[in-house]
Amino acid sequence: MEMLIVDMESIFERGSTLEEENRLRLLSITKMLAYLLSWFICHIDEEISKDANDKYVGKRKKSEKSDMEEEWESSREKALVYIYRLLQLPLQKLWQPPIVEDSFVTLLTKVCYKVLEQCRDSKQKHIKQTIFEILGTAIKKYNHGISCVVRIIQLVKLHDVLASHIATGVIHMIKNCGCNGLIREVMKEIDQCEPSETDSRNISIFLETIATSEPNFIIPILGDIMDYLASEHYTMRNCTINIIGAIVQKALTGDDLTQEQKDQRDECLNSLEEHILDNNAYVRSKVLQVWQHLCCEGAIPLARQGKLLAATALRLEDKSANVRKQALQLVRALLQGNPFAAKLNKIEISKSLEKEEVNLRKLQTENVNKSAHGDNQRLELWNILLPEIRKALKEVINGGNRKNKKQGNEGEDENIDPDTAFEHVRQLMLKEKIFEAVTYLWKVCVKLRQNPDIENLSPEAKEECLFLLLLKTFMESENDSNNVKKDTDKRQSVDKKFATELEIAIPMAEKLLFSTTASDAVEACTLLGTAYQFGVSGAAAAMRDALFQVFHRDQSVRNNIAVVYKDLYLNKDENQKSERQKALTCVKALIELLKGLQSGQSQALTQLILTWYNNNDIDNEVLQVLWEKFSMKSSDTDPLDSRTALMLITMIAQAQSSILTGNLEVLIKVGLGSRAKTDLLLARDTCRALLAIKHKNDDIEKPPVRYSNDHEMFKQILTILIENFTNTEEDGYVSFATDAINSIYHLANQPDHLMKQLLLEAYARGQFNNDSSQHTVSFFLLSKFLYLIGHIAIKEMVHLDTSVYKELKRRDIIRKLKKEKNSDKNEKDSRRSRSSNIVGSTPNSARQILRNKETSMIVEDNGEEAVEGAADDADAEFINDTLENHVVTGDGLLVRFVPLVLDVCQYHDKYNNEDIQAAGALALSKMMTVSSSFCEESLQLLITILERSPYPGIRANVLIGISDLTSRFPNQIEPWMKHIYGRLRDEDTNVRSTCVRVLSSLIMREMVRVRGQISELALCIVDKSTQIRQDTKQFFKALSQKGNALYNLMPDILSRLTDPDLDISEFDFQEILKYIMDLLQKEKQVDAIIDKICARFKLATTERQWRDFAYWALQSVIEQTKKKPNTQAACIELEEKIEELLKGTENLEQSDTEVMPPPPVPKSKKHAKRRKHRSSSEEEDDIDSDSDIAPVKTKSSKVKSREGKSSSSSDSDTDDISMKTVRRQSKINTPTSAVKPSRRKHMDSVTATPSPLSKRNKQVATPMRTERRSVRLSQSRTKR
């Protein structure tokens, strides 16, 4: 082949004519060699590829090639070069007529397609280039275009790896081989092939590669490509969108675009905007991604950005997480790349726009006042230039007409703005460039579409027309300042629209801050951080809400919020070189941040600062500046900044308490010194800083960090507490007292002694004697004193129960270690380690030890008792005895003040002040938390306050106090639970809401047994308050997730809701039922409920009960049947019919009794039913708790139901008994009063004195008053 090519090259170079015999001989040789070359290349290529595949069957193919493969690739490349050289020759001369046969060209190009199919290595660029050179030559010289396009598209569809390589080859053939029509033929072939989903993916890669590399090649066929926006395959729509984006960015962006190009660009951008609403999430995401890329490249016109921002903001609520992510990124890109202003505050922009509009009107007025839109100087200049103007006009019209016309035709695609063009002519004339001005004006006149055909006029008419136009242009063109003002107004109008749309997008992004999808939370926070930097309205408040992301469950979200806030506050000014300056800027920013926080956000900031400190983003220089700010040594520091700096120090100290202990003297001197005596908030924050000092110590032999009672800090705290106790003008006393007492119990060795001193001093200053009249006692001081008593009671309990108990355990272990001092060192170390582990695993409180003891005793098979955990804990018993007998009872710390608290709680007429009554009830509930005996004594009084207090706030606080008492003494509170449930019907919304939350918490923590009153909670589903409805629904939803808890309560709920005495509306009944039934997910549970409902029909006595039972049964059946696809439509139709019937029941003329009367019951059956109802309910005990449904209460059957309850409770002895039976037993076995006989005399003496409560209601609250009648009935029945 090489010899043939050399010979033919020499023959054709000489240009000699081939004789017929030589032509035929050369043609025959060429065909034979071409066939052999093509066959050998294809055959050897297949064999080598087959051997390589067989060699690596079941193994991972290595990247290294064998020697045979390397040798063959070299030979194959030479063969391709020979084919290329052969096709460069004028082979048509070998044929007669001089047209190369298609079969010959196909024979040679077949080799190219075969090699290209096997050549998938990206490193073989030279071979691919040679192949496309051959194909380009075949297309250009031998009419191989149609066949080449077909084979190329086939390869693209079959091999996804080749799509990008073939696209590069097509570009090469168009640019270097002159195949200009190739891209259009390729597009036609794609249109005809109707690609599938897989083919669409490969074709997309092919077209996108061409558009990205050479977008100008795609512009002629852009209309055909845009048809694919309607394709059913989303991959083709994505391909088109990528192509449009590439074309707009690389070919349709710039200031020198023609009008046609601008129209084409607008058409492309309109298509992109339309597909922001595409029905496929992948397409919507791709469109937003393309818009983001265009925004970063500055390819979006300013006038379109506001509209784009509005459309993108709507995608922030898209159902697809990826679309929301891309939308957030696009909004942030538009914000960062906006050319409008560094600050996008709508109010400031509106003011600026109004100012510029006023200036524009003023300028227009000045221009109008000028005579003839010009002045005398301009007219004088025109007269001076007139001869030269006439000369230039004749030259342009006569001599240079053809040349100008030719230039005009060459640039006819150029876009010309008339105002700009005429202003340019005037400026040329002012520079005395007359010929250039006349030439340019002539070109503009020829190209303007709105002008008549000026070229058809006579030369004289042309000259006169151009002269007048030149004069008008020179004398009346607007000056630059006017144009600038118009542009400024237009720009600020667009700026205002952009800022308005951005403010609308901020609340949408704020909603995504706490999305369960991590990408939403991350991108929303980043966007809001950027908006805050640009001063967008609403961004500051949103960023404060974003602080709570530090508690997000996803680590990426927590890391992102730390980075965003770090950029906003720690790296606010990176250009400062001095570390001191950086620290000052950082501290100032943090102080302003803390000042702007709202209630509840400081804890989130604390967590954020701890993250920064652990990441070394806050260094010692920042701490030094904070201490200087706190001590007011730094200039420009006011008291508020000093206190804020202390709060920041406290936050950082939670990571390392040595920050405080190392500067304790400064903290006491400044925070508890002279300033603190007049600024209680500073003293409060100082006490909070003291609380950050940790007791944790790894060495068991070292005691926790505590200070003696005569330490300076305690002296200062007590002094401030006592001196400000009688100060009626100070509002922050209670807040300071809370943290002051906390800090004393946290750090003092014997805090009870200090508290005793405090109470005695305050008592003396307040003159709170029992014989003092209400006129001599200050209500304000008394409320503060009662608060001190209550808070000290709680802290004393916590101190004894945790701190003292841990210290006792620590000392016990140390004593054990000292006894073992003679043992081996290794054994001693192991025991010490074991002792440390024991301390670490010890419960935190004595109360927990006692509870564990009660539940840790189990009986083994051999009958012996085994103890799980530790044996009898003497320390825990000691602590419990101290709490019971030496705090609020006996000779305890607070015994002296118990009468005062009880006096305030009992005699509301004497202390007729809401604050005092609230403080008294709060102190009483806290003191009851200390001792179970005192709790039993005072519980009746507390319940009476709960039911009889006229102040909703007091009733709500008492509910919270009872919740704490239930957690600590559940057995004592259990008999009084009905009074707590009674607050669900309180007239005050806040009380009902508090009661719902309290009961929900107690039930979910299993602190109380769920009884029949659960139906009262169900009624709260239809409460008037939206918050109560939400809380109740959330409770039942959580309850449904705890096994069969909700299912077991359904009988009680059903009995209560269908009780005629309840008088609940049908609509409310249906709403409660529908919500609760939707929470039952198991079919067996629903089927069992349906059976129970059907059994209740024969017990129904009213029309309303029939409807309720029927609706309940139908609702259960429908909800279960709707889950089946084949019956879903029928169920929906049935449900609509039922709703229609229910709404029309009020207009019915006949009652349900007349339409469907109840079945008649024989008298014998009635008597039998009554006898069965009076007898013992042994059959009821055989039924499990799930099937226990209380009979419907009617006015005629209340006594009978009580008898049934009392009789059934006597025979229950299994664990499967229903909750109602358990409740009946408690009613029988519980005494008529929860107050012990030993304490009754004291309570009687307390209530003997006339009080407001006894005047209003002589009968105080009792735990079981409503059950006494049933108890007497059951006892009399038993005797009979």
Structure confidence at residue 624 (pLDDT): 94
Report the amino acid identity of residue 699. D
Q: What is the pLDDT of residue 995?
A: 96
pLDDT average, residue stretch 211-224 = 90
H-type alpha helices, 1020-1059: 1026-1040, 1045-1057
* 689 or 1046, higher pLDDT: 689
The residue with greater pLDDT, 379 or 515, is 515
* pLDDT tens digits, 440-464: 878 777 766 555 566 667 777 777 7
Please name the helix (run of DSSP H) or strand (run of DSSP E) that holds residue 556, with its range, or none.
helix 555-565
CA dihedral 276, 278, 283, 286 (to 10 degrees): 0
Q: How far apart are CA 546 and CA 184, in angstroms?
A: 53
Q: Are residues 562 and 611 in contact, defined by beta-carbon separation less than 8 angstroms?
A: yes
pLDDT at residue 842 greater than cutoff 60 = no
Task: Compute how many other C-beta atoms are within 10 angstroms of the C-beta atom of residue 333.
Answer: 21
| Calpha distance 568→1217 (Å, rounded) | 63
Q: How confident is the model at residue 819 (pLDDT cuts 50, 70, 90)?
A: confident
Closest CA to 306 of 490, 158, 431, 508: 490
- Kindly report the number of other CB atoms within 10 A of residue 1029's CB atom: 17
Cis peptide before 301 (omega within 30 of 0): no
Answer whether residue 178 shows pLDDT above 90.
no
pLDDT at 1193: 38
Q: Is residue 989 part of a domain?
A: no
Residue 1032 in any domain: the answer is no
- Lowest-pLDDT range of 850-859, 939-948, 990-999, 1050-1059: 850-859
pLDDT at position 330: 95
Residue 1269 has pLDDT above 60, yes or no: no
Q: Which of 655, 681, 698 is the last residue of a domain?
A: 655
**In whole angstroms, how large is the CA radius of gyration of the chain?**
47
Q: What is the DSSP letter of 339?
A: S
> 271-275, 323-327, 809-813: which has the minimum mean pLDDT?
809-813
Sign of CA dihedral 469, 474, 475, 481: positive
User: Where is pLDDT greater, at 1152 or 1106?
Assistant: 1106
CA distance 1036 to 1024: 18
Which of 656-670, 735-749, 1214-1228 comes out lowest in average pLDDT? 1214-1228
Q: Give CA separation, 502 vs 315, 329, 353, 592, in Å.
A: 14, 13, 18, 25
How many structural domains is the chain composed of? Answer: 2
Secondary structure class of 508 (helix, strand, coil)? helix
Lowest-pLDDT range, 464-468, 681-685, 837-841, 1147-1151?
A: 1147-1151
365 assigned to some structural domain: no
In this predicted model, what pLDDT tens digit does every residue of 1190-1204 receive, in sequence order?
333 333 333 333 333
pLDDT of 1134? 60
Instruction: Answer whether residue 1248 shows pLDDT above 50.
Output: no
Band of residue 713 on the pLDDT scale cut at 50, 70, 90? very high
- pLDDT of 210: 92
The chain-wide mean pLDDT, for the chain, equals 78
Of 387-396, 612-621, 867-876, give the lowest mean pLDDT range.
Answer: 867-876
Report pLDDT for 428.
80
Q: Per the structure block, which two tokens stand in for 320? A: 């697809």
**Domain's final residue, options 588, 623, 655:** 655
Average pLDDT over residues 673-689: 93
Contact 424, 472 (CB under 8 A): no
pLDDT at 934 over 90: yes
CB 955 within 8 A of CB 912: no
* Average pLDDT of the residues in 829-834: 52
Query: What's the 3-state SS for 1189-1250?
Result: CCCCCCCCCHHHHHHHHHHHHCCCCCCCCCHHHHHHHHHHHCCCCCCCHHHHHHHHHHHHCC
Assess whether pLDDT exceeds 70 at residue 157.
yes
Residue 532 pLDDT > 80: yes
pLDDT at 663 over 50: yes
Residue 467 has pLDDT above 90, yes or no: no
DSSP 567-606: IIIISS-TT---HHHHHHHHHHHHHHHHHT--TT-HHHHH
Q: For the segment 1257-1266, what is each residue's pLDDT rounded down to a tens digit?
A: 333 444 443 3
pLDDT at 63 over 70: no
Q: What is the domain extent for residue 599? A: 573-655
Tokens matching residue 504? 């609308």
Return the higher-pLDDT residue of 11 and 607: 607
Helix (H) or strand (E) holding 867: strand 865-867
User: Can you give the pLDDT at residue 1149?
Assistant: 42
- Sorting pLDDT into bands at 50, 70 and 90, what band is 1122? low
Overall average pLDDT of the 1078-1104 stretch: 76
Give 281-315 pLDDT, tens digit per residue: 999 999 999 999 999 998 998 888 889 999 999 99
The contacts of residue 665 (CB under 8 Å, 6+ apart) are none
Contact criterion met (CB below 8 Å) for 511 and 529: no
* Residue 867 is assigned to a structural domain of this protein: no
Place of tokens 């390819």: 299
Between 415 and 970, whose confidence is greater? 970
| CA–CA separation, 614 and 623 (whole Å) | 14
857 sits in which H/E element: strand 857-859
pLDDT given at position 453:
61
Q: Assess if residue 183 is contained within a domain.
A: yes
The predicted model gives 967-980 an average pLDDT of 91
As a whole-number percent, the residues of the chain with pLDDT over 90 amount to 35
Q: How confident is the model at residue 77 (pLDDT cuts 50, 70, 90)?
A: confident
Predicted confidence at residue 54, as pLDDT, reads 64
Q: Output 635 or 650, whichever has higher pLDDT.
A: 650
CA-to-CA distance for 744 and 717, rounded, in angstroms? Answer: 8
Give pLDDT tens digits for 374-429.
456 567 677 777 888 888 888 877 755 544 444 444 444 345 667 677 777 877 87
- Confidence grade of residue 317 (pLDDT, cut at 50, 70, 90): very high
pLDDT in tens, 248-269: 999 898 878 888 888 899 999 9
648 lies in some domain: yes
In a domain, 641, yes or no: yes
Q: Is residue 589 part of a domain?
A: yes
Contact 510, 542 (CB under 8 A): yes
- pLDDT at residue 1032, rounded to an integer: 94
Domain boundary pick from 147, 168, 193: 193
